[in-house]
Structure formats: C-alpha cells, structure tokens
Amino acid sequence: MQVAVLGGTGTLGLPVVRNLAAQGHTVRVLTRTAPKDPVPGTQHFPVDLSTGEGLDEALEGVYTVVDAANHFGVRSGKVLVEGVRSLLAAEQRARVGHHVEISIVGCDQVPFSYYRTKVAQEQVVTQGPVPWTLLRATQFHELIDQWFTAAARLRLSPRGAMRFQPVDVTAVGARLADAVDAGPSGRVPDVGGPVVQTLSELAAVRRAALGQSLLPVPLPPLGRAARRLRDAALCLDNDGEAVSFDYSEWLRRRYAKPGS
C-alpha cells in the first residue's frame, strides 16, 4: 500500500516509517527537510503543513496518511490545527481512504495551551472528511529525558508529585503501523508505558542510571494543570494498554557505553 508519513523523520515518525517499510508498504516521508539518513526504499517529498505547500504532489496515489508531524510553540495551532485541516482537504482531493492521527493521553484533562491545540486537532480529524483512526499515547521517554537534560545543564534536578507513564516510542510507532493495516477504526485504545511514576521517582531513576550530582528543585503542584498531573491525568485509565519497557530500561539502552 502507498502510505505517506507526515513528520516521518521525527521521534515518532521515524519508527513509524521503519515499521511500515518492514511490513512491505511503499512509504513516502513528508517533511520540510529531507532525511539525512533515509530509511532504505522510502521516498522524501518536501511538504510544509503551515502553508500546504507540496501536499497535492506528495499525496498523489497515496491510500493512507499517518500524521506524526509536530510543532511546539506559538505557531503550534497554525501547524497542527490549520495544518491538519489543509492536509485533510488535500487527502480528499487525492481520494485518500484512511487518515491515522496521534494524540496525547489526557490532553483534554490538562489546561496547557499545547494540549488545547491537540484537542482542537483531534476534533478537525474526527469531524473531517476522511475515514480515520486516532491513537492517544503518553509521553515518550525521549521527552521526559529532554526535560531532565535541560535542567541538568543548569545542574538542577526537578522533583515533584506529578505523575507520568512514559512509553517506548518504538512501541507507539508499531501501533500506528498496525493501524495502517487495520484500516479506519475510529478511536483505538490508548497506549502508555508499563509504570506510573512521579517526577521525583523518575529523577531518582535517572540519578541511579547516570550518577549525576544535581541540586534537587521541588516543583509544588501549584495551579490546576500541576494538580491534574499529580492526579495522574496524563496516565492510562483502565481501558488503556501498557506496553514495552520503562524509563530505567530506556536510560540503560540510551546511555549504554559501546561494548557494555
């Protein structure tokens, strides 16, 4: 099947592309910048979601589109919400049969502006003209680690009672690739990692793995958003599926010394 992956060079997009190629699909990678190290057999199409540029050419002959593009910042509404609207219009012109979207577990529970953008993006997809599948995932280990890495540059280690259930992005990528084969399925069960841990527990896991000596900075659950995080609003409920390995295993793989 001809499949186009928006954001196919990103943290999530790359494992989606790898899985789809391994499953025998013909894969197009749609991003602004060509991949430095393309997955063999895939083809890059330059596309800019914020302007719609390149979409019609990129979608010609495509049956399924997986949207794994992202933009975090003041233009996230422009890229993610207006972008998906023009993407769906282009899909309709190209007679695409299936749109696969990724969102975030609990994004409708926590009043962060990026999460409001994700809720708006979900609405555009679920009320849109193309048959769809929507998967929500928890935070990727990479994101949690970026937070700690940024703080560690200042010799700081954030602590707090906010709860997370970080997930292995390759498992999420595999779910999206399976969704392509399954066809339009609507909202499918949420996916997350195997354990719920507080920010303090995640910091302890990182300290044990990397042995860094950093100044602990308690983040009290002030404000509604922080209280929702403390109450595990971003974690799976009983209908979600917990998959793959935890943050400690991710750290072991990520920071393993060659030959160890």
Contact call for residue 12 and ligand NAP (CB under 6 A): yes
Rounded to whole angstroms, the Cα distance separating 52 from 100 reads 18
* Residues 33 and 8 sit within 8 Å (Cβ to Cβ): no
Contacts of 204 (CB under 8 A, 6+ apart): none
Could you tell me the smallest distance in angstroms from the CB atom of residue 33 to ligand NAP?
3
Q: How many residues in the shown chain lie near ligand NAP by CB under 6 A?
A: 26
SS3 assignment, position 16: helix
- In the region spanning residues 108 to 127, those forming contacts with ligand NAP, defined by CB under 6 A, are 118
Q: What is the DSSP letter of 163?
A: E
Nearest approach, Cβ of 104 to ligand NAP (angstroms)? 4
Does 53 help bind ligand NAP (rule: CB under 6 A)?
no
Which of residues 31, 165, 170, 197 is near ligand NAP by CB under 6 A? 31
Contact 176, 16 (CB under 8 A): yes
Q: Which is nearer to ligand NAP, 48 or 178 (CB)?
A: 48
Contact between 74 and ligand NAP by CB under 6 A: the answer reads no
Site for ligand NAP in 91-110 (CB under 6 A): 102, 104
Q: Least CB distance from residue 211 to ligand NAP, whole Å?
A: 25
Residue 55 makes contact with ligand NAP by CB under 6 A: no
- What does each C-alpha distance from 119 to 111, 115, 250 come to in angstroms? 11, 6, 28
H or E element that contains 23: none
Q: Which of residues 233-252 bind ligand NAP (CB under 6 A)?
A: none
| Contact (CB, 8 A) for 236 and 105 | yes
Task: Enumerate residues 140-179 that contact ligand NAP by CB under 6 A.
Answer: 140, 143
- Piece in contact with ligand NAP (CB under 6 A), picked from 7-15, 174-182, 202-210, 221-229: 7-15
> Which residues are within 8 A (CB) of 113 and not within 5 positions of it... i.e. 6 or more apart?
76
**Which amino acid is located at 138 in the chain?**
T
79 binds ligand NAP (CB under 6 A): yes
How many distinct helices (H) and strands (E) make up the chain? 10, 13
* Range in contact with ligand NAP (rule: CB under 6 A) among 58-66, 86-94, 134-142, 212-220: 134-142
Nearest by Cα to 198 from 170, 169, 230, 226: 230
Least CB distance to ligand NAP at residue 143 (A): 4
Of residues 48, 60, 178, 201, which one binds ligand NAP by CB under 6 A? Answer: 48
Residue pair 76/15 in contact by the 8 Å Cβ criterion: no
- Binding residue (CB under 6 A) for ligand NAP from 50, 92, 109, 185: 50
How many angstroms separate the CA atoms of 10 and 8, rounded? 6
Sites of contact with ligand NAP (CB under 6 A): 6-7, 9-13, 31-33, 47-50, 68-71, 79, 102, 104, 118, 137, 139-140, 143
